[in-house]
Amino acid sequence: MPIKQKTIYLAILNQGEIRTDLSQVLNLLIQSDAYRLYLTYPVAKPITNNRNTIAQKFLAGDADFLMMIDSDIIPPPNILNLADFDKDIITPLMFVQQKGTLIPLFLKRNKDGMYDAADYLAKTGLQEVDATGTGCIIIKRKVLEQIKHPFENIYDEDGIKTLGQDFAFCQKTKKLGFKAWVHLDYVASHHSTQDLKDTFYDHLGRYKAEKELFELKKQLKTRPNLYTKLMKEIKDNSLSLITNE
Note whether 190 and 207 are same-domain residues.
Answer: no
Domain containing residue 82 = 6-194
Is residue 11 in a domain?
A: yes
Q: Are residues 222 and 105 in the same domain?
A: no
| C-alpha–C-alpha distance, residues 219 and 229, integer Å | 13
Beta strands 89-93 and 180-187 are parallel
Q: What kind and span of H or E run contains 110? A: none
Count the neighbouring beta carbons within 10 Å of the beta carbon of residue 65: 24
Residues 67 and 186 grouped into a single domain: yes
* Distance (Å, whole) CA 192 – CA 18: 13
Going residue by residue through the chain, which has 245 residues, state the pLDDT in tens, using 9 for 90 and above. Answer: 556 789 999 999 999 999 999 999 999 999 999 999 999 999 999 999 999 999 999 999 999 999 999 999 999 999 999 999 999 999 999 999 877 788 999 999 988 888 888 888 889 999 999 999 999 999 999 999 999 999 999 999 999 999 999 999 999 999 999 999 999 999 999 986 667 677 777 777 777 777 776 676 677 667 767 656 656 665 565 545 444 44
Count of domains observed in the chain: 2
Question: What residues pair up with 74 in beta bridges, in sequence order?
Answer: 189
Rounded to whole angstroms, how far apart are CA atoms 129 and 106? 6
The structure's pTM equals 0.79
